[in-house]
Amino acid sequence: MSVRSDAPLAIVGAMQEELAALLAAMPDARPETLAGRQFWRGHLEGRPVVVVLSRIGKVAAATTATVLLAHHGVRAVLFTGVAGGLAEGVAVGDVVVARDLLQHDMDASPLFPRHEVPLTGMTRFPADAALANALAAAAQDVLAELPAHLPADVQAEFAMTKARLHRGLIVSGDRFVATAAESARLRADLPDALAVEMEGAAVAQVCHDWGVPFAAVRTISDRADDAAHADFGRFVGRVASPFSAAIVRRTLTRL
Ligand code: ADE
């Protein structure tokens, strides 16, 4: 498929709260419903975009991505959301930009090596380097200008002034990882995994099939441990939504 350079960029969000923050900055956005999903076409930072909620889990996100790519002719896909921190040093409030993505619950062994997606020969789906660099630079800018994006009490509550950027492996699976035992198992299986979520590797696989550049950024909402559920809830509304909208908007100005 050849894609025109003035084709829209897709922004896929994992949470309604984030989408709302982006749509608030898109007064010209109009929804089109397909497969039960609302695809919002409009402009953000002067660039043509299509914004859509991925829904939760790999199948839902892959369906969203497939409909998006089949019907909207987008030139690239940016995924934004929250994730559980896995690697030591990946703390709540930190930002992770994917270098590559893997499905941690894919296991067709002994027919195929563990974690390999059957018939693709691939275990890790790489993010587009240029897009990932733009996301990382935007995230650095936003982290350096926290007061412009988050009220002081929210920064203090989540120790956001200590937040850092990480780049590397994000793993996805159809489980909300909410026990220390399960995150320890993931760390043992995949020692270089920085963060865990439920959609990214599925969307990366669909984009790979279509030859469309893909990149993902996740803000860490919890440590994927016994406190994950409570931490996730507190973080999403107060930090993740304004924060990831700011990163996406800043990324668009860099493309
Ligand atoms: N998204 C945010 N936190 C998560 C967790 N602990 N497990 C899976 N997905 C997540």
**Does the C-beta of 221 come closer than 6 Å to ligand 1?**
yes
Average pLDDT, the chain: 94
Q: DSSP label at 207?
A: H
Give residue 167 CA to ligand 1 midpoint distance, Å.
17
Residues designated as active site: 18, 222
Q: Select from 176, 185, 217, 244 the residue to mutate for testing ligand 1; criterion: most ligand atoms less than 8 Å from CB.
A: 176
Please say if the pLDDT value at position 1 is more than 60: no
Which runs of consecutive H residues, i.e. helices, occur in the chain? 16-23, 58-72, 129-144, 146-149, 152-157, 180-189, 200-210, 228-235, 241-254
Averaged pLDDT for residues 88-108: 97
Identify the residue with better confidence: 238 or 72.
72
Give yes or no for residue 180 CB within 6 A of ligand 1.
no
Question: pTM (2 decimals)?
Answer: 0.95
R_g of the chain computed on alpha carbons = 17
Ligand 1 lined by 197 (C-beta under 6 Å): yes
Q: Domain 9-252: which CATH class? A: alpha beta
Lowest mean pLDDT across 66-70, 90-94, 212-216, 234-238: 234-238
Residue pLDDT, tens place only, 157-177: 888 888 999 999 999 999 999
pLDDT at 5: 65
20-52: pLDDT as tens digits: 889 999 999 999 999 999 999 999 999 999 999
